[in-house]
Amino acid sequence: ENSVLVSGSRDNKVIFWDVKTAQILKTIMIGRNLITDAKWSHDGTFVAQTGEDKETK
């Protein structure tokens, strides 16, 4: 069972959360654009995110 949640924020951060403890596991700063979406890959090994610049990283 996957217990990590990923979220994007208005301050250009992608944040990885431990769902069970509600603690932040990792924070990544992404460029200068608002994060609009973040998705796990099908195998759960990476996250793709997109922002206002319409680029996927």
Residue spans per domain, the chain: 4-51
pLDDT at site 1: 53
pLDDT at site 12: 80
Within a 10 A sphere around the Cβ of 14, how many other Cβ atoms? 19
49 CB contacts (<8 Å, ≥6 apart)?
8, 14, 30, 35, 37, 38, 39, 56, 57
Q: What is the pLDDT along the chain (57 residues), one digit of tens a residue?
A: 579 988 887 788 888 999 999 999 999 887 767 777 888 888 888 888 887 766 666
Phi/psi region, residue 36 (left: phi>0; alpha: psi -120 to 50; beta: rest), is alpha
pLDDT at site 55: 67
> Per the structure block, which two tokens stand in for 28?
């990544």
Global confidence as pTM: 0.73
pLDDT at site 46: 85
